[in-house]
Structure formats: structure tokens, C-alpha cells
């Protein structure tokens, strides 16, 4: 099956479920593959050009499962063939780099997000790490490098150099704040950009943020020339502070930020 692989990072990506939100948090959090597919279609129609999704097991828990990923990708391709599809390798404190690498290599998805510090916790890339990123890049998988702190950019730069992967247009996700309650402050975007410049990474970058501070961070990202990711993985709130009825309503609201 041929998947859509845009050259540029999607301008607005939806992250509808994440690893942790449940139906108890919001009844519109998609848990099953069919729910994720229907959410993707609604969000695409609302203006999202990419989706970052997590798989869940029979108990609704985050799982790295190659078979489920392939099934979801195939179903999504049928319903949203012009939407960029991004799977995740997020460890959530449960999965080792070996498991993360295995998922990526088993699936070879059109898009994948990899937390650089999760994949390389030693901060010293091994031959396995270098080969993983080289193989995915050569296979055409669009890797989005997740950076939780500015210092993660140094590790990313080292990896790209060792793997001989171009720094021009590298897809990056700059995470502002944390789901656990660390506040998202728009002032924290600039230190990431400074690090990217220091490392000569001309990134195609986006920002995600959490809770009630999400919108101010997204506005700042756009002002600085970046892109954005929204969805129930990060916040269930609308720009006015009300609880969003669903993911697609959030997409419609933040799409206006680009105007």
C-alpha cells in the first residue's frame, strides 16, 4: 500500500488520544482503531493534514504492537488517503529502546515520532541507533524527532551527523511543558530554536503544549514560523477555556490561528 508522505511537516497535526487519556477523561477520546479512523476523518475534514496516533490494548492501555499499527495504518489509508499518518514509539516508562526499534523496523510506517532521549537514554548513539535512523530514512519514513528539552537538540545533532542524515528540513517536535503538570510557557520555545541554530539544524518544526497554556504557546509558535499539534493527547480545552466536545472542534478552532 502506498501511503501519503509529504515533503513538508504537516502544518496542523492532530494527536487525538496519546498514551494516557481515557474515556473517563473525555468520552470522545478514541481508543479503538475504528474510533481513531473516524476521528481522523473528522479532523481531516476540519483542517488537520496529519495525525499522530497511539495504539491501545484491550484494556485501553498504550501499547507498541506492530500488528495493530499496520492494521490501523491500512484502515486510515482507506478513509484519509491524503492525510499524513504518524505512529509513535513513546516508551511511557514501559518499553525499552529495543522494543521501540523493533516496532519501527517491523512496520516501516509512512511517519513515526521518536523521542530522541527515549531511544538513546545513554545520550551516546550506538551502531544500532545509527542503523535504525538510516534505515528508516532510506525507506522513506518521515521521522519527527521529539525534543523534550533544548539539550535534546545536541543529541539529535550528534545522531544526524553520525548517521550522515541531512539536517536540512529535519522534522522536529518541540514539547513545551509536560502532561504531568509542568506549565507550558511560550517563552520556552526560543531556547529550542537557539539550540537548533547552534547545531546548524534548519528544522521544519512544530510545537505541542498542555492545558490552559496550550493556546498561547501555539500562537507563539506560529508567530515564530513554526507549526502546531493539538488534540486530546495534550489538552481537552478550547481557546476560551471550555471543554472541547471532540478533537475536530479543537482543529477548527486552532486552524484560525494561522489567519
HSE toward the beta carbon, residue 104, CA cutoff 13 A: 32
Q: How far is C-alpha 72 from the geometric centre of its chain's CA atoms?
A: 16
Mean pLDDT of 245-253: 98
Q: What is the pLDDT of residues 52-108, one digit of tens each?
A: 999 999 999 999 999 999 999 999 999 999 999 999 999 999 999 999 999 999 999
CB neighbours (10 Å) of residue 90? 22
Residue 8 vs residues 4, 29, 190, 213, 235: alpha-carbon distances, Å: 12, 28, 21, 27, 25
Answer yes or no: are the C-beta atoms of 101 and 128 closer than 8 Å.
yes
Query: Using an 8 Å Cβ cutoff, are 12 and 230 in contact?
Result: yes
For the record, the C-alpha cell of 75 comes out as 484502515
Collect all residues with Cβ–Cβ distance below 8 Å to 67 and sequence separation of at least 6.
none
State the pairing for strand pair 142-147/12-14.
unpaired
140-198 pLDDT tens trace: 999 999 999 999 999 999 999 999 999 999 999 999 998 777 889 999 999 999 999 99
> pTM for this one?
0.96
First to last CA, the chain: 35
Amino acid at each position: 500500500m502506498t501511503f501519503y508522505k509529504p515533503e513538508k511537516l504537516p502544518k496542523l497535526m492532530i494527536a487525538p488520544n496519546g498514551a494516557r487519556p481515557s474515556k473517563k477523561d473525555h468520552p470522545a477520546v478514541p481508543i479503538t482503531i475504528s474510533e481513531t479512523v473516524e476521528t481522523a476523518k473528522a479532523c481531516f475534514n476540519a483542517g488537520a493534514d496529519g495525525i499522530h496516533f497511539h495504539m491501545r490494548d484491550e484494556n485501553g492501555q498504550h501499547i507498541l504492537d506492530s500488528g495493530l499499527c499496520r492494521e490501523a495504518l491500512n484502515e486510515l489509508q482507506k478513509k484519509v488517503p491524503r492525510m499524513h499518518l504518524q505512529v509513535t514509539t513513546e516508551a511511557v516508562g514501559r518499553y525499552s529502546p529495543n522494543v521501540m526499534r523493533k516496532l519501527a523496523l517491523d512496520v516501516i510506517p509512512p511517519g513515526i515520532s521518536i523521542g530522541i532521549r527515549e531511544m538513546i537514554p545513554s545520550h551516546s548513539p550506538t551502531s544500532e541507533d545509527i542503523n535504525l535512523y538510516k534505515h528508516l530514512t532510506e525507506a522513506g519514513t518521515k521521522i519527527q524527532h521529539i525534543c523534550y528539552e533544548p539539550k535534546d537538540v545536541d543529541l539529535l545533532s550528534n545522531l544526524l551527523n553520525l548517521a550522515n542524515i541531512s539536517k536540512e528540513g529535519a522534522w522536529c517536535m518541540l514539547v513545551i511543558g509536560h502532561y504531568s503538570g509542568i506549565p507550558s510557557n511560550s517563552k520556552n520555545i526560543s531556547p529550542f530554536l537557539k539550540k537548533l541554530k547552534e547545531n546548524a539544524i534548519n528544522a521544519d518544526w512544530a510545537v505541542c503544549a498542555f492545558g490552559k497554556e496550550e493556546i498561547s504557546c501555539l500562537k507563539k509558535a506560529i508567530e515564530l514560523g513554526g507549526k502546531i499539534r493539538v488534540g486530546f493527547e495534550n489538552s481537552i480545552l478550547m481557546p476560551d477555556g471550555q471543554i472541547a466536545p471532540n478533537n475536530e472542534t479543537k482543529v477548527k478552532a486552532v486552524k484560525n490561528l494561522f489567519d
